[in-house]
Chain A
Amino acid sequence: MISLTSPVRTWAHGWPAGLKLAGLCAATLVLFFIESVPAHLAIFGAVLGVYALPGRVFLATGMRRLRLLWPFILVVMLWHLWEGSVAQGVAICLRLLSAVALANLVTMTTRLTDMIAVIRWLAAPLRRVGLETRALELAVALTIRMTPVLAEKGELLSASWRARARRRAGWRILLPFTLLALDDADHVAEALKARGGLGN
């Protein structure tokens, strides 16, 4: 399973993940209280500058992830052109771009293991009141492991459908696919029990 962390090493890869997340929350909150277009232009320019620092590959990856937003930008801009409040539309779009770009920046510079450490830290109060968080950690690992396994089985199912039929598989394939997931869950549960279980 490939995470969205950037393979391009940046100085921010070494920063504590919790600090980056807290900073992101604060920055997003501040963005929502800014209304002026020049301020938003300056902020977005600065964000682009930060993306450009680690080099061309990092910048290109970052921009590709922002492209997903174009339908929303288009709708909002058309809307505000029609209403005659262009400045407000520009501010909304720039805020959206900056907020998503900053959030992606944290994802791109934080390794999955560091994120899991943050989750563990956030779950610490639960452990203190006696709740077992091992199940959560195990479930995270299991899901990461089983997603590619299930996806591969789904591809096999649709390949065998195509071998027998002229049309594409469509939604009918979902029943055997879901059955596979249910049976895998039973096997995984048995394997966990056989290895000592979760201890309760």
Chain B
Amino acid sequence: MERNVALIALFAALIAALGLIPQITLAFGVPITAQSLGVMLCGTVLGARRGALAVLLFVLLVAMGLPLLAGGRGGLGVFASPTVGFVLGFPVAAFVTGWIVERWRGAPLTLVAGVASALGGIVVLYAFGVAGLAVVLEKSLQEALALVTAFIPGDVLKAAIAGMLTSALARARPQSVLSRADAG
């Protein structure tokens, strides 16, 4: 119980700390923040339930007025702004990512965690994000999707990094990658 609470709290803090470190700029000039990478890692490392709870805790703290989103954003204004869908989709993205890693056992962890991060952290997250954009800006779903396609390459790279990190973590701290630990 204590370990679960500590892991959930520390991973919520990890997402926040990843938003505080400076942006990594990709070769083709798209700035990415590591924050959604943190969401993917919550799923791949902590598993579906604990991962989603950690991200939910992070979103709760943002709503309470802490400036934890990348660039020092936070507060209730986030939930009225066009990017609301992405923030609300974070916990679901972590859950789906973790769910896939927990169930798909037949392949190398790098591949599994990478694909799971792409499905959870891109497909599921963008579904929420695009829906939010469409509602707030009164655009159709296709028009909203066109607004964010520039960010997809960066997120594909993040999913690949999440895959590599997860398998490296599994080698360094085997008992810590709970999504693969049989005794959860």
Scoring B21, B60, B165 by chain A CB atoms within 10 A of each residue's CB, the highest score goes to B21
Whether B61 sits at the interface, judged by CB under 8 Å, is yes
- Say yes or no: A115 contacts B65, CB within 8 Å: yes
Q: Contact flags (1/0) for B141-184 with A, using CB distance below 8 Å?
A: 00100010000000000000100010011001100100000000
A103 within 8 A of B: yes
Q: Which residues of A contact B76 (CB under 8 A)?
A: 21, 24, 103-104, 106-107
Whether A178 and B14, one on each chain, are in contact in the complex, defined by CB atoms closer than 8 angstroms, is yes
Residue B137 interfacial (CB < 8 Å): yes
Nearest Cβ on chain B to A83's Cβ, whole angstroms: 11
When chains A and B are docked, how far (Å) is the Cα of A197 from the Cα of B31? 42
- A105-124 interface with B by 8 A CB criterion: 106-108, 110, 112, 115-116, 119
B172's nearest neighbour on chain A, judged by CB, is A179
Q: Report the stretch among B5-13, B87-95, B97-105, B113-121 that lies at the interface.
A: B5-13
- B77, B81, B169, B173: the one contacting A107 at CB < 8 Å is B77
Chain B CB within 8 A of A147 CB: yes
Supposing A140-B60, A154-B21, A198-B1 touch, asked if A96 and B66 sit within 8 A by C-beta, the answer is no
Q: How far is the CA of A108 from the CA of B7 in the complex (A)?
A: 30
Chain B window 56-72, contacts with chain A (Cβ cutoff 8 Å), 1 for yes, 0 for no: 01101100111110010
Residue A188 is within 8 A (CB to CB) of chain B in the complex: yes
Interface residues in A126-156 (C-beta closer than 8 Å to B)? 135, 138-140, 142-144, 146-147, 149-151, 154-155
Complex CA gap A136/B112 in Å reads 31
Number of A-B contacts (CB under 8 A): 182
Main secondary structure of the interface of A (DSSP, over half): helix
Closest to B78 in A: A103
- Residues 33 to 90 of chain B near chain A (Cβ within 8 Å): 34, 37, 41, 45, 57-58, 60-61, 64-68, 71, 73-82
Knowing that A104-B77, A175-B169, A197-B1 touch, tell me 10 more A-B residue pairs with CB under 8 angstroms.
Answer: A92-B138, A103-B76, A140-B57, A143-B58, A150-B13, A174-B37, A178-B45, A181-B14, A198-B2, A200-B1
Pick 27 A–B contacts, CB within 8 A, sort by A. Answer: A3-B66, A3-B67, A4-B65, A4-B66, A4-B75, A68-B71, A68-B81, A96-B136, A103-B76, A107-B65, A108-B75, A116-B64, A139-B5, A146-B10, A147-B16, A150-B13, A154-B20, A171-B24, A171-B161, A175-B165, A175-B168, A178-B14, A178-B41, A182-B7, A182-B176, A185-B6, A189-B7
By a CB distance below 8 angstroms, the chain A residues around B173 are 179, 182-183
Q: Given A104-B75, A171-B161, are A112 and B65 also a contact pair (CB < 8 Å)?
A: yes
Query: Which positions 68-107 of chain A face chain B at CB distance < 8 Å?
Result: 68-69, 72, 75-76, 79, 88, 92, 96, 99-104, 106-107
Determine the residue in chain B with the shortest Cβ distance to A142.
B9
Contact A178 B1, beta carbon cutoff 8 Å: no
* Residue of B with least CB distance to A31: B80
Q: Does A192 interact with chain B (Cβ within 8 Å)?
A: yes
Shortest Cβ distance from A2 into chain B, in angstroms? 7
- Report how far A183 CA is from B1 CA in the complex, Å: 16
Residues of B within 8 A of A10 (CB): none
Q: Does A1 contact B (CB under 8 A)?
A: yes
Q: Is B127 an interface residue (CB 8 A)?
A: no
- Does the CB pair B13–A147 fall under 8 Å? yes
